[in-house]
Amino acid sequence: MNINDLRVGLIGGTGEEGRGLALRWSSAGAKVTIGSRSIERAGLAAAEINRVLGGSYVLHGSNKDAIEGAEIVLLTVPFEHAASTLEEHAADFAPESILIDLTVPVSFDKGRARYVDLPEGSASEHLRARLPERVYLVAAFKTEPAHLLARHNEALDCDVFVAGDSKEAKARVMEAISFIGGARPVDAGMLESARALERMTVLAIGINRRYKIKAARYRVVGLT
Amino acid sequence: MNINDLRVGLIGGTGEEGRGLALRWSSAGAKVTIGSRSIERAGLAAAEINRVLGGSYVLHGSNKDAIEGAEIVLLTVPFEHAASTLEEHAADFAPESILIDLTVPVSFDKGRARYVDLPEGSASEHLRARLPERVYLVAAFKTEPAHLLARHNEALDCDVFVAGDSKEAKARVMEAISFIGGARPVDAGMLESARALERMTVLAIGINRRYKIKAARYRVVGLT
């Protein structure tokens, strides 16, 4: 893969996760478009990143703009809005495009994070059932803290677990991730593995709280 | 805690996990009793460990022997036998003793590991419901590969996630784990977190298979 050929689009890309990944992939050479329901907010986010990068690298537009023409689309909206957003934009995805699902269904009870069980077993499987068949769904970046992604001067220094039912799509995403500094892509198997990954995120949120830290994340030991 | 005061008993302690932890805790100074349904097999396992340690350190007996008088009891039987074993020995636990549950419900489908969903959400919660109230249940060592535990010359070099509803019991287990070389105990929260931990084990088994490695395990990054 030549990173300069990689076109990435972000749905709801104005949050910490979206801005952080837009900057990291853009500075690696990918062509990134930040999408949002508000073009104004997308423009502000892109301007902020371009200021950091020192040039006009990142594009912006509507979510439709971000999806169309992108080879890899990132779903960086909260889980609560994920299904409705995908349903709204089902027609916008190019055939054989890849959607990376970053969502984790979590609720907070007196400050304590709890995983929200879904009938399909995970958010990724829930969304898979709502996505056109011509789009590949890959779960990734589930366990990376959003504000760590946003701290662009900091290497991620962790493993990025990648799960999906299409080996080719998964390999493509893993290769794209390998361009991000400090991120080691790890093949986490079929999409069903999202059941583990999403719960690992909730576990990390709890570890953050108990140890008064901010960016608990994971590395696999024994894998070189 | 003085490690020399720690009395550890192992239910079904003749497997790799049991032998490995018996040796590691015994060599740290704890008083360890290996229990088994077969006293003969318990004796062979203890003799093997004592040969490595160069003295008569580890005791052996029936599972009842291992449970009675132990402050921390390890449940090192396969998940399939866990509930029936606990029901058989419910009366043998001392009040306020701690049972560490290491079980993970997993099935294999053409070599691929799959997590077996349980109505209670996890093996630990399933077993909690079958254990007398006077016994504390703590989930730990769920994500450590059995044969790594058994390779006694090798430091574990990973985080040992510890989950449980009693803060005191959890703290006691974490302290006991801190005597094992290379094992960092990490407070994983309430027993419900076993839902994440058990699935992480299945994820690690899959990573072993895909990467042709043998001892994938985890470390939390960002926690010092």
Instruction: Closest CB to A207: pick one of B186, B211, B216.
Output: B186
The tens digit of pLDDT for each residue in A136-152 reads 999 999 999 999 999 98
Best to test chain B binding among A144, A199, A217 (most B CBs inside 10 Å)? A199
**Alpha carbon distance B189, A82 (integer Å):** 28
pLDDT for B166 equals 98
Residue A113 CB neighbour total at 10 angstroms: 18
Segment B64-81 mean pLDDT: 97
Q: Would you call B211 and A187 a contact, using CB atoms and an 8 Å cutoff?
A: yes
Residue holding tokens 């402050």? B71
Q: Would you call B207 and A187 a contact, using CB atoms and an 8 Å cutoff?
A: yes
B203–chain A nearest CA distance, Å: 7
Using a CB-CB cut-off of 8 Å, the residues of chain A touching B148 are: 222
Q: Would you call A221 and B216 a contact, using CB atoms and an 8 Å cutoff?
A: yes
Q: What is the CA radius of gyration of chain B?
A: 16
A211–chain B nearest CA distance, Å: 8
CB contact set of A6 (below 8 Å; sequence gap of 6+): A25, A29, A30, A31, A71, A72, A176, A179
pLDDT for A69 equals 87
Model confidence at B170: pLDDT above 90: yes
Using a CB-CB cut-off of 8 Å, the residues of chain B touching A220 are: 204, 207, 216-218
Asked if A184 is an interface residue toward chain B (Cβ–Cβ < 8 A), one would say no
pLDDT for A63 equals 98
pLDDT for B1 equals 78
Best to test chain A binding among B120, B124, B192, B203 (most A CBs inside 10 Å)? B203
What 8-state DSSP symbol labels residue A7? E
Beta A217-221 vs B59-62: how paired, if at all?
unpaired
The tens digit of pLDDT for each residue in A20-77 reads 999 999 999 999 999 999 999 999 999 999 999 999 999 999 999 999 989 999 999 9
Asked if A59 is an interface residue toward chain B (Cβ–Cβ < 8 A), one would say no
Is B17 in contact with B26 (CB distance < 8 Å)?
Answer: no
pLDDT for A152 equals 86
B52–chain A nearest CA distance, Å: 25
pLDDT for A58 equals 98
**Alpha carbon distance B94, B135 (integer Å):** 8
Across B172-198, b (16+ Cβ under 10 Å) vs e yields bbbebbebbeebbbbbbbbbbbbbbbb
Segment A187-200 mean pLDDT: 98
Q: Would you call B195 and A199 a contact, using CB atoms and an 8 Å cutoff?
A: yes
Asked if B197 is an interface residue toward chain A (Cβ–Cβ < 8 A), one would say yes
Using a CB-CB cut-off of 8 Å, the residues of chain B touching A219 are: 218-219, 221
Model confidence at B90: pLDDT above 90: yes
B186–chain A nearest CA distance, Å: 8
Asked if B220 is an interface residue toward chain A (Cβ–Cβ < 8 A), one would say yes
pLDDT for A1 equals 78
**Alpha carbon distance A218, A57 (integer Å):** 31
Model confidence at B152: pLDDT above 90: no
At A27, is the secondary structure helix, strand, or coil?
helix
The tens digit of pLDDT for each residue in A79-117 reads 999 999 999 999 999 999 999 999 999 999 998 999 999
Segment B31-44 mean pLDDT: 98
